[in-house]
Structure 1
Amino acid sequence: MNESLDTAHGRQVLRIERRLVHPPEKVWPAVTEPEQLREWFPAEIRLDPRPGGRITFSFGSGPDASAESVGRVDAYEPPRLFAFTWEDELFRIELHPDGPGCLLVFSHVFDDRAGAASFASGWQICLDALELVLDGRPVDQSARPSGRLHESYVERFGLAEGVADTTGDGWRVRFERQLTRPAEAVWAALTRSAPDRPATLGAPPPPGFTTDEFPAGPVTALQPPTLLEYAWEAAGAPAGRIRWELAQGTGHGARLVLEQTGPADAPGGHATALAAWRSRIEPLARQLAEEADRLAG
């Protein structure tokens, strides 16, 4: 299997290639017919199989079913190409003859770069299931991407890096990182090293939210388990702010957004911040991934 993440026209393009032992004529029904799609695709699909046709996605069944979403079939060329739109995201399945089998090329176009590891690990599980369907073997419908698999894609696609830019009065560093555990679990991991120092407005933040390079001042905004902001200090005076936010992300975990601002008279501070926060976030992400895998059994 070969995977890549590129940018085209300002959007993210995830591409997965997989060689299958089955010819295109056998694979085509498995990637286009609703009865077979439901065995491996993450939603139940109904479609009008023609370019411009309606395609409907739904999750679950009975009282647990979620609202349907509607897309459009963009291409339908048996047994070579099936492409469709789901919300504002684009999907394309190509089947190329390859000896007695075929090369399946799956692509997913989206905007949320920080979600790419969740998408890639999820599609890997789906394509594994597709191969089982083609082989006539049973599919484990409860299979989910592991934390370890998610983190391997973070590393492969370079998703752990932060970005820095200048502002009207200084600089700003920002990290956006998809995690593998919900906000409550992330908050617990950030605070458990010092249970005797709970997050409190006006007090210093728990050590898990800090880094030695930027001395922490008092907490100025607090909404457990989703928000903590504090001033950082230089020469004993406030120099900028550090803000941790946790929101619902892709997959089953929280989306972490960490931002730090700094003054223009400390131009090298952003480089220090990029290195310091990467070193702080990555052990946290690995810890949470290991925790997710332990809980999954």
Structure 2
Amino acid sequence: MNPHSDTLDPDEEGAHSVLRMERRLAHPPAQVWAAITRPAQLAQWFPAEVTLELRPGGAMGFHFPGDEGPGMTGEVTDADEPRLFAFSWGDDHLRWEIAPDGPEGPGGRGSLLTLVHTFADRFGAPSFAAGWQLCVSALGQFLDGGQAEVSRDAGELHEAYLEQFDLGHGQVTDDGIRFERQLVRPANAVWAELCSGEEPLAGDTAPDGFLADGVSAGPVTALRAPASLTYAVHPKGEVRWELGEGTGYGARLVLTQTGPFDGAVATDEALAAWHARIERLAGRLLEG
């Protein structure tokens, strides 16, 4: 079940991201079709309990074990047995394509399974890719007749996809620079790592964990633990750390530094310094 191809690209309009994953399976398309469309078989490897009407326009429901409430809903958009099954899931769209693959064997030809996941949250892509890799691996186990195990990624797979998709770098904005990154631990764990035992206070100098090389720390001007911290930097800028809701892995970090920056070189140096700081943070969180 090693990846054949995993890519992340913008859609045609550039408004969404498209994750494309391909896997070769030693099972004929009809068998794979049943595994991805029949609720009883989906329950063996899919991350949610699924109800569906297998026709275009048919209703779908998704409910995660342990979650209270009605769960999420979707709609079947394509159902062309045994070639194509596609549906909406909340605001996302998933397209499963099945094609005959490989030489003819005793049980017929195998299959090339292609998953195309379209979504708006580009920085959630490593989480989605890691989750789908584990699920499709479980699908392979199920098709092989074994006990499918949908294991949970401790963070290593997530971070590998983040690097593959090159999502760790910051961006230049109209008034400074900005980083957004999905982290693999919840906000309270991230906050504790940033503070390293030094609890920040409004008006005091920001703790070292919130600094980057070459950034002079000024007084904390806004504080809401464990969600945000803002401090002044010389001469008239500020740095803001925000830990908001992310994917199921943990907190979503948004870090901004406003200028003024003394030219493009200073901007590039700030980008490099913050990139290095966030990478160190991510590494520490992974270790933890």
Q: Normalising by structure 2, report the TM-score.
A: 0.93
Equivalent in the alignment of 2:231: 230
Identical-residue share of aligned pairs (%):
51
1:157-213 per-residue CA deviation (whole Å, 9 max, x = no partner) reads 0010110022xxxx3100000000000100111111xx3x42010010110101231
* 2:176–2:261 contact (8 Å) kept in structure 1: no
Alpha-carbon distance between aligned partners in 2 of 1:87 and 1:271, rounded to the nearest angstrom? 38
1:278 aligned to 275, 282, 285, which one? 275
Question: Structure 2: where are the runs of 5+ without partners?
Answer: 103-108
Alpha-carbon distance between aligned partners in 1 of 2:237 and 2:7, rounded to the nearest angstrom? 37
The aligned amino acid for 1:247 is G
Are 1:84 and 2:87 counterparts? yes
Alpha-carbon distance between aligned partners in 2 of 1:267 and 1:273, rounded to the nearest angstrom? 10
Alpha-carbon distance between aligned partners in 2 of 1:15 and 1:241, rounded to the nearest angstrom? 39
Are 1:156 and 2:161 counterparts? no
Instruction: State how 1:131-142 maps to structure 2 within 5 Å.
Output: 131-141=140-150
1:22-45 per-residue CA deviation (whole Å, 9 max, x = no partner) reads 010111100000001111111111
Report how far residue 95 of structure 1 moved: 0.4
Question: Paired residues, what number?
Answer: 277
> SS in structure 2 opposite 1:128?
helix
Equivalent in the alignment of 1:15: 20
Are 1:245 and 2:259 counterparts? no
Report how far residue 264 of structure 1 moved: 6.0
Equivalent in the alignment of 1:216: 217
* 1:262–1:269 contact (8 Å) kept in structure 2: no
1:69 aligned to 72, 76, 82, which one? 72
2:35 aligned to 11, 24, 30, which one? 30
Structure showing the higher strand proportion among its residues? 1
> SS in structure 1 opposite 2:76?
strand
1:261 aligned to 252, 255, 258, which one? 258
User: Which deviates more from structure 2 when the two are superposed, residues 261-270 or residues 105-114?
Assistant: 261-270
Are 1:174 and 2:178 counterparts? yes
Alpha-carbon distance between aligned partners in 2 of 1:173 and 1:120, rounded to the nearest angstrom? 27
Equivalent in the alignment of 1:95: 98
Alpha-carbon distance between aligned partners in 1 of 2:94 and 2:60, rounded to the nearest angstrom? 12
Question: Structure 1: where are the runs of 5+ without partners?
Answer: 292-297
1:222-245 per-residue CA deviation (whole Å, 9 max, x = no partner) reads 011111000001xxxx32010000
* 1:151–1:286 contact (8 Å) kept in structure 2: no
Q: Normalising by structure 1, report the TM-score.
A: 0.90
* 1:5–1:13 contact (8 Å) kept in structure 2: yes
The aligned amino acid for 1:59 is F
1:288 aligned to 266, 285, 288, which one? 285
Report how far residue 111 of structure 1 moved: 0.8
Report how far residue 266 of structure 1 moved: 4.5
What stretches of structure 1 move > 6 A for 4+ residues in a row? none
* 1:81–1:94 contact (8 Å) kept in structure 2: yes
> SS in structure 1 opposite 2:88?
strand
The aligned amino acid for 2:82 is P
Report how far residue 87 of structure 1 moved: 1.1
Alpha-carbon distance between aligned partners in 1 of 2:272 and 2:7, rounded to the nearest angstrom? 25
* 1:148–1:290 contact (8 Å) kept in structure 2: no
- Compared with structure 1, are the counterparts of its residues 65 and 133 closer, same or farther at alpha carbon in structure 2 (3 Å cutoff)? farther
Over the aligned positions, Cα root-mean-square deviation in angstroms equals: 1.3
Alpha-carbon distance between aligned partners in 1 of 2:80 and 2:6, rounded to the nearest angstrom? 24
Alpha-carbon distance between aligned partners in 2 of 1:87 and 1:70, rounded to the nearest angstrom? 6
User: Which deviates more from structure 2 when the two are superposed, residues 208-217 or residues 219-228?
Assistant: 208-217
Alpha-carbon distance between aligned partners in 1 of 2:24 and 2:68, rounded to the nearest angstrom? 34
The aligned amino acid for 2:187 is A
Alpha-carbon distance between aligned partners in 2 of 1:230 and 1:172, rounded to the nearest angstrom? 15
Alpha-carbon distance between aligned partners in 1 of 2:176 and 2:141, rounded to the nearest angstrom? 48
* 1:222–1:229 contact (8 Å) kept in structure 2: yes
Alpha-carbon distance between aligned partners in 2 of 1:30 and 1:219, rounded to the nearest angstrom? 55
Alpha-carbon distance between aligned partners in 2 of 1:245 and 1:254, rounded to the nearest angstrom? 9
Alpha-carbon distance between aligned partners in 2 of 1:275 and 1:265, rounded to the nearest angstrom? 15
